[in-house]
């Protein structure tokens, strides 16, 4: 960094112009549509020893029929015949030889050892139907196998595209339940305009490519003929029907049905599968342990509670992880003479994260959202508050719970009321007093453990090496977490010595209504905030004393993000808070007053806090905005802050859901009806909208005489001419219609996939060329 002048400083800061690299990770929802007699999930349930044992126990009178009624209802009451997170099954012989080769390797205990034995659980995947061998796999692995099958079937695929396709096989992974893909190449943004456009371009094309792999699997493996229509899409929270099933089955059977076997991406898939089981067991136990904290905090005041299920379903949520890296930091860490050490990286990184967390309300609900309706009967604190007891101090937890009940109008004769427990009683109270529940902007951030509060002796962000490992161990002894799991945070530092690059990964993005508008704006805003935070740290204007490493202070700043996710209008901070930076942000805010309820506290409106954060960015980062060319991003942010119902991600998703249902307000539907309708929107119209974005970006890349089209012209001129029209040619609007209707023929599909492979080949070459000009040590994977 060059401190000779302010102008030189901002140009040489990490995350400045020409320094930032970007990448993203997408967690995707899957569903298989078809009759119960054809789809894997209902077949697996019906044929399981668990189901058989429950039936036998009911027949002998050892248990009541209630134990089986819920499962039978799940299997029979499915008018749309949509089975979320189901696996697929088809004859093994439908795989091409190369796809079979990939499968055989992935079914080994150790993929890197050709002499390795098969996985011990191989019988889960291979079985006989009559005399014919069949294969059953999760959709996450179906995507990889579909790509391998395409590469094996298309004989005239140019060598650069084939190499790209082979490389992309390792980019199709899985989360605990869902498919997971990560960037096909590192995005190196242009000098102006921020990183948003590059991030959107890659993610949209990757999503489009994923959709084409689904189509190829349907055609080549003839899944539709077998009564299995597969869909892959963005959806933020665990499916409603999966939650209902989870209430009827034990945690081990839930893992058997829904947890990914980790066939792709790891050398020893069974070891990774065991780790996934550990995560589910830990979070399930962790939620049970919130009961003690809720009692200690005074929220639970009697013994009548509804126990959370021992099987926690929160790991079925889906979001986007957005990573930004700094080539300057990577080069400095790689150079032993730079004077910048891993200890400096850790110290500065933790402080940058603490600054960044103050601006989370600018993202939550505004750029990403997860709209969700809660029924009155969902307002048991032990269920509605999710993991908040592990994320917030008791004081802030009580404040949020009181304000949330007020927002949801849970009052009878001016007295607050929550469900008692017995369904017949609660449903009667709901009907008699018209208690409708609530509607929140981002349920994913409430239903999932997105961050962990520090303990008094183990701060998570004090800049000391090993602090998060010490905290994870401390939390393990408290029954909250496990030391083998990486610490959950809103924003996680990526350490070069561990992950290969130096930067920050945001893990709180739920669902984007429009990739170009929402994801692009969020990526630009993140880059701006990181650049501003680095300057504040580098110039000494913000120090660890400005943002103390105390659990209460940590909870105080994070409560604002959770208040934004719930849609609360206000929050409270101590009037004499030791968080100097937070007070600096709040001081100019309008409508701030001393609380009449909480002595020694100041009441702040969330909307005014957002406006104050925006003004802070304009005031403190105006020169950075000009340097990055992000004037349009701040104008867009101002509109979202000023008119969230119209311009925010939550507002746009809400309008889309209401238009699809034909009602004017979310409370015109029951909570279950609304949430199921939202899932249908994500599965259908929103998925098609994201496909259209990808096609538009692809078409733009191949416009006449563009660098990409010239690149393809040089290597495969006949193919490029074919895409311009004529027999077998690709007309993008017609293609979009065929994608909407599921009628994309094999010829169009092959052309479209080759266009994308050429695009990824070209973009990777451009990325490698840009990274080659960076200092040594700056080039690193974003995953």
In the predicted model, is pLDDT for residue 143 greater than 80?
yes
The pLDDT of residue 409 is above 70: yes
What pLDDT was estimated at residue 28?
98
Residue where the block lists tokens 């929140």:
440
Q: How far apart are CA 474 and CA 466, in angstroms?
A: 12
Interval 446-458: pLDDT, tens: 999 999 999 999 9
Asked if residue 780 has pLDDT above 70, the reply is no
Q: Which two tokens stand for residue 646?
A: 């119209």
Which residues contact residue 670 at a Cβ distance below 8 angstroms, ignoring those fewer than 6 apart?
373, 375
Class of residue 337 by CB neighbours under 10 A (exposed 0-12, middle 13-18, buried 19+) = exposed
Order of strands across the sheet that contains 593-594: 570-574, 601-605, 593-594
Per-residue pLDDT of 684-716, as tens digits, reads: 999 999 999 999 999 999 888 889 999 998 988
Q: Is the pLDDT of residue 38 over 80?
A: yes
Nearest to 293 by CA among 455, 445, 460: 455
pLDDT at 774: 58
DSSP letters for 71-95: HHHHHH--TT-EEET--EEEEGGGS
Burial of residue 576, with CB atoms counted within 10 A of its CB: 0-12 exposed, 13-18 middle, 19 or more buried = exposed
Alpha carbons 483 and 350: distance in angstroms, whole number: 20
pLDDT tens for each residue of 287-319: 999 999 999 999 998 776 777 778 999 999 999
**Residue predicted with more confidence, 732 or 178:** 178
**Cβ pair 367, 509 in contact under 8 A:** yes
Token pair 């950075």 in the structure block, residue: 624
Report field, pTM of the whole predicted structure over 0.85: yes
Cα radius of gyration (the chain):
26
Residue 17 DSSP code = T
> Average per-residue pLDDT in the chain?
93
Q: What is the pLDDT of residues 48-106, one digit of tens each?
A: 999 999 999 988 888 877 778 999 999 999 999 999 999 999 999 999 999 999 999 99
pLDDT in tens, 345-356: 999 999 999 999
Instruction: Give SS3 for 450.
Output: coil
| 371 vs 565: CA distance, rounded Å | 9
- Under the banding of pLDDT at 50, 70 and 90, the label for residue 719 is confident
In this prediction, residue 316 carries a pLDDT of 94
């Amino acid at each position: 960094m060059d401190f000779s002048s302010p102008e030189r400083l901002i140009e040489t800061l990490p995350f400045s112009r020409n320094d930032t690299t970007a990448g993203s990770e997408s967690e995707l929802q899957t569903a298989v549509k078809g009759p119960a007699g054809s789809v894997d999930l209902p077949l697996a349930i019906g044929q399981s020893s668990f189901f058989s044992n429950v039936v036998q126990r009911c027949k002998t009178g050892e248990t009541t029929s209630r134990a089986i009624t819920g499962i039978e209802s799940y299997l029979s009451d499915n008018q749309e015949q949509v089975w979320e997170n189901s696996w697929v099954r088809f004859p093994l012989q439908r795989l091409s030889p190369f796809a079979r080769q990939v499968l055989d390797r992935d079914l080994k205990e150790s993929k890197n050892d050709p002499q390795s034995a098969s996985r011990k659980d191989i019988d889960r995947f291979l079985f006989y139907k009559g005399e014919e061998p069949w294969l059953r796999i999760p959709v996450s692995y179906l995507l990889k196998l579909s790509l391998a099958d395409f590469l094996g079937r298309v004989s005239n695929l140019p060598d650069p595209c084939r190499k790209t396709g082979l490389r992309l096989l390792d980019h199709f992974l899985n989360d605990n339940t869902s498919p997971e893909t990560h960037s096909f190449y590192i995005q190196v943004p242009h000098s102006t305009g921020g990183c948003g456009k590059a991030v959107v371009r890659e993610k949209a094309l990757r999503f489009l490519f994923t959709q084409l792999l689904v189509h190829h699997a349907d055609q080549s493996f003839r899944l539709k003929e077998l009564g299995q229509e597969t869909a892959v899409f963005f959806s933020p929270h665990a499916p409603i029907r999966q939650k209902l099933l989870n209430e009827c089955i034990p945690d081990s059977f839930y893992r058997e049905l829904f947890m990914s076997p980790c066939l792709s991406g790891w050398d020893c898939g069974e070891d990774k599968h065991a780790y996934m089981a550990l995560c589910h067991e830990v979070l399930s136990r962790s939620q049970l342990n919130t009961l003690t904290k809720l009692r200690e905090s005074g929220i639970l005041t009697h013994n009548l509670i509804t126990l959370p299920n021992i099987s926690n379903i929160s790991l079925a949520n889906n979001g986007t992880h957005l990573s930004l890296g700094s080539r300057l930091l990577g080069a400095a860490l790689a150079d032993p003479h730079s004077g910048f050490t891993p200890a400096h990286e850790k110290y500065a990184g933790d402080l940058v994260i603490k600054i960044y967390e103050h601006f989370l309300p600018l993202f939550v609900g505004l750029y990403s959202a997860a709209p969700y309706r809660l029924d009155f009967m969902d307002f048991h604190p032990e269920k509605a508050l999710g993991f908040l007891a592990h994320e917030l101090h008791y004081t802030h937890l009580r404040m949020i719970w009181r304000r949330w009940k007020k927002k949801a109008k849970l009052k009878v004769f001016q007295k607050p009321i929550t469900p008692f427990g017995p369904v017949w009683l609660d449903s009667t109270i709901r009907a008699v007093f018209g208690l409708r529940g609530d509607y929140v902007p981002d349920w994913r951030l409430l239903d999932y453990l997105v961050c962990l509060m520090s303990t008094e002796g183990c701060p998570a962000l004090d800049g000391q090496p090993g602090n998060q490992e010490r905290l994870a161990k401390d939390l393990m002894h408290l029954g909250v977490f496990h030391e083998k799991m990486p610490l959950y945070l809103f924003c996680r530092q990526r350490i070069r010595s561990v992950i290969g690059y130096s930067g920050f990964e945001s893990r709180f993005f739920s669902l984007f209504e429009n990739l170009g508008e929402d994801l692009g704006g969020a990526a630009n805003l993140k880059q701006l905030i990181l650049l501003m935070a680095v300057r504040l740290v580098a110039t000494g204007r913000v120090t660890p004393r400005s943002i103390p490493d105390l659990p209460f202070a940590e909870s105080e700043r994070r409560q604002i993000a959770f208040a934004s996710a719930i849609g609360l209008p206000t929050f409270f901070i101590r009037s004499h808070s030791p968080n100097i930076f937070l007070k600096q942000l709040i001081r100019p805010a309008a409508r701030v007053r001393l609380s009449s309820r909480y002595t020694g506290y100041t009441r702040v409106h969330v909307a005014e806090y957002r406006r104050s954060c925006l003004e802070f960015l304009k005031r403190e980062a105006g020169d950075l905005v000009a340097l990055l060319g992000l004037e349009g991003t701040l104008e867009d942010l101002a509109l979202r802050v000023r008119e969230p119902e119209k311009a925010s991600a939550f507002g746009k998703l809400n309008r889309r859901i209401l238009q699809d249902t034909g009602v004017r307000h979310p409370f015109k539907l029951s909570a279950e009806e609304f949430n199921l309708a939202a899932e249908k929107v994500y599965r259908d119209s929103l998925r098609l909208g994201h496909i259209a974005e990808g096609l538009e970006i692809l078409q733009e890349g191949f416009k006449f005489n563009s660098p990409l089209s010239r690149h393809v012209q040089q290597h495969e001129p006949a193919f490029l001419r074919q895409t311009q029209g004529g027999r077998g040619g690709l007309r993008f609007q017609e293609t979009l219609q065929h994608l909407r209707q599921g009628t994309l023929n094999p010829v169009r599909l092959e052309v479209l996939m080759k266009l994308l492979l050429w695009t990824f080949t070209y973009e990777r070459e451009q990325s490698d060329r840009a990274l080659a000009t960076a200092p040594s040590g700056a080039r690193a994977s974003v995953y």
